[in-house]
Structure 1
Amino acid sequence: MNPAPEKIPRGRPRSTTSHQAVLKAVARLLEEQNHDYETLTIEGIAAEASVGKQTIYRWWSTKASVLLEAILTGHVKMHIAEVNDTGDLRADLRQWVQVLRGSLFDAQSVSLARSLVTAAIVEEVNLEDYLTQNDLELTAVPYRRLATEAARGGLRTNTELSATLGALVYPIILRLISGVTPEPEWFDALVDVVVEGVGR
Structure 2
Amino acid sequence: MACEAQRSGTVETRRGRPRSEASHQAVLDATSRLLSESSYEELTVEAIASEAGVSKQTIYRWWKSKATVVLEVMLTGEAEIEIVPMPSTGDLRADCLTWIRSMLVEAFQETHVGMARSLVVAGLQGDPGTERLLEQASMWDHGPLAERLRESERAGELREGVDITAAASAMGDPLIFRMLTGAAPTTSWAESLVDVVVTGLLRPEEDAAR
Range of TM-score over shorter length: 0.7 to 0.9
Residue 189 of structure 2 corresponds to which residue in structure 1? 186
Q: Deviations over 1:83-117 (max 9, x none)?
A: 22222111110011001111111111001001111
**Identity level (%):** 32
Q: What is the Cα deviation at residue 19 of structure 1?
A: 2.9
Residue 5 of structure 1 corresponds to which residue in structure 2? 7
1:157 corresponds to which of 157, 160, 166:
160
Residue 92 of structure 1 corresponds to which residue in structure 2? 95
Relative to 1, partners in 2 of residues 1:161 and 1:25: Cα closer, same or farther, differing over 3 Å? closer
Question: C-alpha root-mean-square deviation of aligned residues, in Å?
Answer: 3.3
Question: How many pairs are equivalent?
Answer: 182
Tell me if 1:173 matches 2:176.
Answer: yes
Q: Deviations over 1:51-95 (max 9, x none)?
A: 64532245x142253342355533xx7442222222211111001
Give ranges in structure 1 of 5+ residues lacking alignment: 34-43
| Code of the aligned partner of 1:166 | S
Q: Distance in 1 between matches of 2:90 and 2:39?
A: 40
**TM-score scaled to structure 1, two decimals?**
0.74
Q: Distance in 1 between matches of 2:64 and 2:173?
A: 26
Residue 62 of structure 1 corresponds to which residue in structure 2? 64
CA contact (8 A) 1:89 1:149 kept: yes
Q: Distance in 1 between matches of 2:29 and 2:140?
A: 26
1:129 corresponds to which of 122, 134, 137:
137
Secondary structure class of the residue paired with 2:140: helix
Q: What is the Cα deviation at residue 12 of structure 1?
A: 4.8
Secondary structure class of the residue paired with 1:132: coil
